[in-house]
């Protein structure tokens, strides 16, 4: 079989063996795997794992090796026409318009709050933790929240906006510890209910609202890993909205996953189909381009390796609590989420993707900005 020989040679370049005995080696259970992977790329690799066509003791290590050796670039001649059409659609159409932007909330975040409670930390923070001086996930997520608040320069009496507020953890922390009032917006109905209950005794409001519909002034704006759902066609508009709603002298803290290099198609086909519909990662240059004329970049902090550790903690929690959800979601869902969490961990470990906290000011901070770590 030509496909099998080709895949074996590709994997050998990454030091991976089929039916080997190391944790990053894979065991192929169905020979249709080879053709599916070559013709469908990352989509075929993920789907064939969901279908049980291959196994691996450590998908995160497997992923790190594949990415580090740039194996996917050697399979381009095999990619089928369906993936090409999907790519062209992403270039022609706005896949993150108001209607399409709701899909990620329905597909991903509306899975159920009980599910996320078992996987995440006690504050329900579904973004990278900050592990610099932390020993466990709860501490690391608290450290990240405090880092965002300090970078935003929060002080008592200020009013802040959290774009993509999730389950309200950052807003609750900011109001309780920094004496601010807050507005949070989300596009997930499940997150909305939880977040509203989470802050019901506080000076905070949670809305089911698209960022494009916000029209009021705030002393500071924060947005933690929502920018990945905005889409390249809307980057400039997003920054214009943030600029319009930020008072003079205010600071905007943006945390986002991103890529160092601009690519023609920044999507991963499998993640796009099964995990984050219509999501795309910004590159460094795309961010600088969309803030030009609107904000001054005061600070750019990369702590992407912390996401590797965060994802491995989420995977451990997911695996340990799976018995509570097995009947509801089934085996294929388990394999999908296992693959998702470990695929992403390996990608951050290989430094293929990063997580950045970027401090943006409207006119430039007088006297300069002091970097906070």
- Residue 48 in tokens: 């064939």
Cα–Cα nearest to 280, from 263, 255, 297: 263
Q: Report the residue count for the chain.
A: 373
Cα–Cα nearest to 41, from 5, 87, 1: 87
Q: Is 165 a residue of the active site?
A: no
Q: Classify 209 as helix, strand or coil.
A: coil
Across the chain, the runs of DSSP E, i.e. the strands, are: 26-28, 54-56, 159-163, 181-186, 204-208, 218-224, 246-258, 296-302, 354-361
Decide if 243 contacts 235 (C-beta within 8 A).
Answer: no
Instruction: Work out the number of other CB atoms within 10 angstroms of the CB of residue 253.
Output: 25
Q: Which residue is catalytic, options 56, 165, 290, 344?
A: 344
Decide if 315 contacts 63 (C-beta within 8 A).
Answer: no
Cα–Cα nearest to 228, from 318, 86, 313, 127: 127
Cα–Cα nearest to 232, from 62, 24, 113, 92: 92
Provide the sign of the torsion angle of the four alpha carbons 170, 211, 152, 104, taken in this order.
positive
Residues marked as catalytic: 344
């Amino acid at each position: 079989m030509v496909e099998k020989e080709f895949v074996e040679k590709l994997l050998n370049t990454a030091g991976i063996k089929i039916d080997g005995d190391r944790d990053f080696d894979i065991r192929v259970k169905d020979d249709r795997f080879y053709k599916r992977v070559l013709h469908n790329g990352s989509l075929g690799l993920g789907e064939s794992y969901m279908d049980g066509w291959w196994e691996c003791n450590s998908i995160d290590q497997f992923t790190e090796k594949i990415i580090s050796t740039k194996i996917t670039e050697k399979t381009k001649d095999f990619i089928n026409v369906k993936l090409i059409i999907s790519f062209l659609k992403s270039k022609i159409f706005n896949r993150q318009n108001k209607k399409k932007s709701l899909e990620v909330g329905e597909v991903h975040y509306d899975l159920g709050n009980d599910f996320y409670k078992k996987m995440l930390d006690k504050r329900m923070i579904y973004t990278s933790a900050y592990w610099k001086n932390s020993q466990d996930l709860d501490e690391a997520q608290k450290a990240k929240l405090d880092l965002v608040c300090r970078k935003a320069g929060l002080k008592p009496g200020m009013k802040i906006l959290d774009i993509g507020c999730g389950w309200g953890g950052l807003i609750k922390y900011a109001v309780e510890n920094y004496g601010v009032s807050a507005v949070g917006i989300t596009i997930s109905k499940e997150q909305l209910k939880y977040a509203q209950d989470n802050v019901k005794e506080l000076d905070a409001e949670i809305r089911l609202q698209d960022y494009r519909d916000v029209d009021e002034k705030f002393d500071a704006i924060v947005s933690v890993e929502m920018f990945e759902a905005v889409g390249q066609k809307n980057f400039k508009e997003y920054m214009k909205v943030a600029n319009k709603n930020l008072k003079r002298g205010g600071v905007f803290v943006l945390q986002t996953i991103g890529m160092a290099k601009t690519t023609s198609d920044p999507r991963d086909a499998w993640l796009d189909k099964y995990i984050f519909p219509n999501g795309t990662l910004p590159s460094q240059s795309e961010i600088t381009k969309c803030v030009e004329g609107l904000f001054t970049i005061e600070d750019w902090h990369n702590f992407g390796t912390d996401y590797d550790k965060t994802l491995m903690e989420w995977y451990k929690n997911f695996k340990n609590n799976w018995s509570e959800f097995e009947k509801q979601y089934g085996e294929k869902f388990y394999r999908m989420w296992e693959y998702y969490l470990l695929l992403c961990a390996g990608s951050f470990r290989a430094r293929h993707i990063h997580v950045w906290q970027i401090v943006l000011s409207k006119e430039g901070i007088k006297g300069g900005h002091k970097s906070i770590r």
